[in-house]
């Protein structure tokens, strides 16, 4: 399990480089795409997109037991409760993201966030520190049993 970085993590204010992600991949009945890896002086952001949303019902659902007590104001709106559960599962899924590279760098998950809706898909960002070393050529994002690799196309010297 990744450890979240204390103190809020990297500031991500000084842009260094951006790298496009691979094409979307099929995953548990949906599609997942790493849009880009955006490198900053003090860390890296992984931008992702899901549409359609994969089946994440296998993840622990804090709201599964007694949904009316978890969301009492929505007890008569089962569709809304299910949408909130789906979003919570997406967030939980990405909270388990890990990042590695071909140089063996130890990345720490610093945080993340997501937004969207079933009709338009969900987009989010997971941040890690430190930034990749200059010699890194491949980043690998692991989320549960999903593995996505990005090539860092660096200019030749």
Structural domains of the chain sorted by starting position, each given as residue range(s) with its CATH number in brackets: 6-54+96-151 (2.60.40.1640)
Q: What is the mean pLDDT of residues 31-58?
A: 96
What pLDDT shows up at residue 8?
65
Residue 106 main-chain phi, psi, to 5 deg: -95, 100
Q: What is the maximum span of the chain, computed from C-alpha positions, in angstroms?
A: 63
Task: State how beta strands 121-129 and 108-117 pair.
Answer: antiparallel
* pLDDT bracket for residue 147 (50, 70, 90): very high
DSSP one-letter string for 74-105: GTT-HHHHHHHHHHHHHHHHHHT-EEEETT--
pTM (predicted TM-score): 0.84
What pLDDT shows up at residue 153?
79
pLDDT digits over 87-145, tens only?
Answer: 889 999 999 999 999 999 999 999 999 998 888 999 999 999 999 999 999 999 999 99
What pLDDT shows up at residue 24?
97
């Amino acid at each position: 399990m990744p450890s979240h970085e204390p103190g809020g993590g990297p500031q991500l204010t000084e842009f260094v480089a951006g790298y496009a992600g691979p094409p979307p991949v099929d995953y548990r009945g949906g599609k997942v795409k790493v849009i880009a890896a955006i490198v900053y002086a003090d860390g890296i952001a992984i931008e992702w997109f899901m549409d359609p949303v994969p089946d994440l019902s296998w993840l622990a659902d804090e709201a599964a037991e007694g949904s009316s007590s978890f969301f009492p104001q929505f007890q008569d709106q089962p569709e809304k409760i299910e949408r909130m559960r789906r979003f919570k599962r997406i967030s939980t899924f990405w909270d388990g993201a890990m990042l590695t590279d071909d140089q063996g760098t130890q990345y720490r998950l610093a945080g993340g966030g997501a937004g969207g809706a079933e009709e338009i898909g969900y987009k989010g960002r997971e941040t890690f520190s430190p930034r990749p070393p200059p010699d890194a050529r491949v980043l690998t994002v692991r989320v549960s049993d999903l593995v996505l690799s990005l090539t860092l196309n660096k200019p030749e010297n």
